[in-house]
Amino acid sequence: MKKLLVVITVFVLSLNVFAAVNADVESPFIKVAEEAGPAVVSIEAKGKQSMGIDPYFEDFFRRFFGEIPQQNREFQSLGTGFIFDEEGYIITNYHVVENASNINVTMTNDNSFEAKYIGGDSDLDLAILKIETDRKLPTVELGDSDNLKIGQWAIAIGNPLGFSHTITTGVVSAFNRKIQKPDGSGYYVDLIQTDAAINPGNSGGPLLDIHGRVIGINTVIVNPTQGVNLGFAIPINLAKRFAYSLIEDGSFQRAYLGVYYGDVNESLQKALGLKVSKGAYINDVVDGSAADKAGIKAGDVITKVGNNDIEDGAELASVLRTYKAGEEVTITVNRNGEKLELNVVLAKAEDVAKETSESYFGLKVRNLQNSDYNKLDLSKDIKGIVIEEVTNQNYIYGVKAGDVISQIAINGNYHNISNVEDWEEIASSIEKNSYVALIIHRQNIRYVVKFFYK
C-alpha cells in the first residue's frame, strides 16, 4: 500500500512539473493579434449593377409596354481592410468595393462607419477608403516587403466566410508569383505566396510578420479543389506607393514605357529567327518615350522587368502597371541573341503623347493598341478606346476596366469613337439633361450601357 502511495505521489508531482514548463511564456502570435487586430476592419459593400439596352429598343419598350424593364441588379460584397493612417485611411482590395455605392466598415469594438471611396485600381486590385471620426483610431504599422525571406512567419487576419477577425498562421512560402486574373485579362504579378489559411472574406486583409508589421494584402487563393494552403498577397511596398500617391496627389500616375508589343510564340520565333522562346516582342517604339530614351528598339524581346520574368505581352503589361511614373527599373532585352540590361526611367503617358484621358463620366480611358486584341479577346475589326479604370463608381454602372468603347449615342445620335481625341471632343460637347449610351465590347460581346447626364 505504501509503494502504491509513493507511485501516485510521484506521478502527481511529475504532472505539476510538466505543467510548469514554459508556464509564463506566451505565443508571439498573441502579441501580434493584440497590437494589429484592432486596426483590421470588416467591409460590407453594396451597390447596383446594370447593363443598358440599345436606344432603339428603349423606344420599342415605351411604345408597347409603357416602361423600360428594370435592369439594375443589387449586390453585396464582404471583405476585409485595415487602417494604416490615423486620419482614417483604409487599404483593401479593389474587387471588394468594385461598383459599390455604399461601403460600411465595422471595427472589433462593433463601431461602424460609412466609408468614402478615395480611389482604386482594378489591375493592382487595390483600393483606398476613408472614414471620418473624432475618436483616435488604431493603426497597423506598414513593413517592408522587399526584405522578406522564405520561411519567415506570416500571420493573416481577416473575416473568412463572415467569421470576423479570424487569425491564421503560416510562413512566407515564396515570392514573385504570378496568377492569371479570373477574367483572363492579365495577371496578378509579384505576389507573395503563403500557406497561412486564406479564404473568401480575407480579401483586403493584412498579411503580417512576427512583429505585427504588414508585409502584404491578402488577395487571391487557389481553388481548394486544385490545392490547399496556397494563398497570395500583394506586396505592401507596392500598396504603399499606390496609397500615398493617391492620398498626396489625388491619383496614381501609372508608368508608361512607350512600346507596341506582341507575344513570342513558336511561329514568330521560327519566322524571325529569334533566340528566345518566351517574352514580349517589340513591334515599335514611341518616339521620345521612356523606352526610346533607354535604347529599347523595335525587334527587341523583353524577357525581364526588375525581378519579374516576362513570358508574353500580357505579363509585360501587368508588370508595368505595378510601377509608378518616375520610377527607375532595369529591363532585360534579347537583341539578336545578345542579352542587354537597360536602365529605364518610366514616364507619364502625357509626357510623350496624348494617349489617355480621365476627364469625363468617371472613366479613365486610353487608345486601343495592337496588343489589346489578344489580351482582351477582341475581333480585329473593333475600333475604339479602352477603359483603364472606373475612377468614379457612382456615375455609370455596368462598365469595368478592359471594356472597349466603340460608339457613343447622345439623344439618339450615334458617334464613332476611334481614339482618345474623338472621345474628348464628343464627350465635352454633351449638354446637360441628355440621354447617353455607350456601346462597349467585352470579349467580343457587344453591350450598351446607358445613363442620364445631369
Tens digit of pLDDT for each residue in 334-351? Answer: 999 999 999 999 987 555
Answer yes or no: is 101 within a domain: yes
Answer yes or no: is 409 within a domain: yes
pLDDT at position 185, please? 63
Q: Are residues 85 and 176 in the same domain?
A: no
Answer yes or no: is 21 within a domain: no
What DSSP character marks residue 70? P
Answer yes or no: is 438 within a domain: yes
42, 77, 95, 300: the catalytic one is: 95
CA distance 365 to 386: 5
428: cell is 465635352
pLDDT at position 55, please? 47
Q: Are residues 370 and 393 in the same domain?
A: yes
Answer yes or no: is 285 within a domain: yes
Q: Are residues 98 and 178 in the same domain?
A: no
**CB–CB of 437/52 below 8 Å?**
yes
42, 77, 122, 125: the catalytic one is: 125
pLDDT at position 429, please? 85
This prediction's pTM:
0.67
Q: Are residues 303 and 378 in the same domain?
A: no
Active site residue 110: no
Q: Residue 272 in 3-state DSSP?
A: helix
CA 150 to chain centre: 24
Is residue 121 part of an annotated ligand binding site? no
β-sheet bridge partners, residue 158 = 166
**CB–CB of 329/305 below 8 Å?**
yes
Answer yes or no: is 17 within a domain: no
DSSP 3-state helix, strand, coil percentages of the chain (rounded to 5)?
20, 40, 40
Pick the last residue of a domain from 249, 272, 299. Answer: 249
Q: Are residues 150 and 245 in the same domain?
A: yes
Answer yes or no: is 318 within a domain: yes
Q: Are residues 245 and 162 in the same domain?
A: yes
Q: Are residues 114 and 77 in the same domain?
A: yes
Pick the last residue of a domain from 190, 219, 249. Answer: 249
pLDDT at position 60, please? 46
Cell numbers 475600333 correspond to 383
Q: Are residues 329 and 376 in the same domain?
A: no
What's the length of the chain?
A: 454
CA 18 to chain centre: 50
Domain extent, residue 116, equals 34-130
CA distance 172 to 192: 7
Nearest alpha-carbon partner for 173 in 152, 154, 189, 193? 193
Domains identified in the chain, total number: 4
Answer yes or no: is 117 within a domain: yes
Is residue 203 part of an annotated ligand binding site? yes
CA distance 445 to 454: 29
Q: In the chain, which residues have pLDDT < 50?
A: 51-57, 60-61, 63-65, 68, 70, 352-354
Is residue 201 part of an annotated ligand binding site? yes
pLDDT at position 419, please? 84
Pick the last residue of a domain from 347, 366, 391. Answer: 347
CA distance 54 to 128: 35
Residue 332 belongs to a domain with what CATH number? 2.30.42.10
Is residue 433 part of an annotated ligand binding site? no
Other CB atoms within 10 Å distance of the CB of residue 284: 14
The amino acid occupying position 120 is G
66: cell is 409603357
The amino acid occupying position 428 is S
Q: Angle at CA 77, nearest 5°, toward 363 and 136?
A: 90
**CB–CB of 418/404 below 8 Å?**
no
pLDDT at position 444, please? 80
Q: Are residues 125 and 150 in the same domain?
A: no
pLDDT at position 435, please? 87
Q: Are residues 279 and 370 in the same domain?
A: no
β-sheet bridge partners, residue 155 = 169, 208
> pLDDT digit string (tens) for 182-205?
766 677 888 999 999 888 888 999
Secondary structure E strands in 24-101: 40-50, 72-83, 89-92
106: cell is 465595422
Active site residue 95: yes
Active site residue 125: yes
Residue 214 belongs to a domain with what CATH number? 2.40.10.10
Q: Are residues 378 and 298 in the same domain?
A: no
Q: Are residues 307 and 343 in the same domain?
A: yes
pLDDT at position 353, please? 43
42, 145, 173, 203: the catalytic one is: 203
Is residue 95 part of an annotated ligand binding site? yes
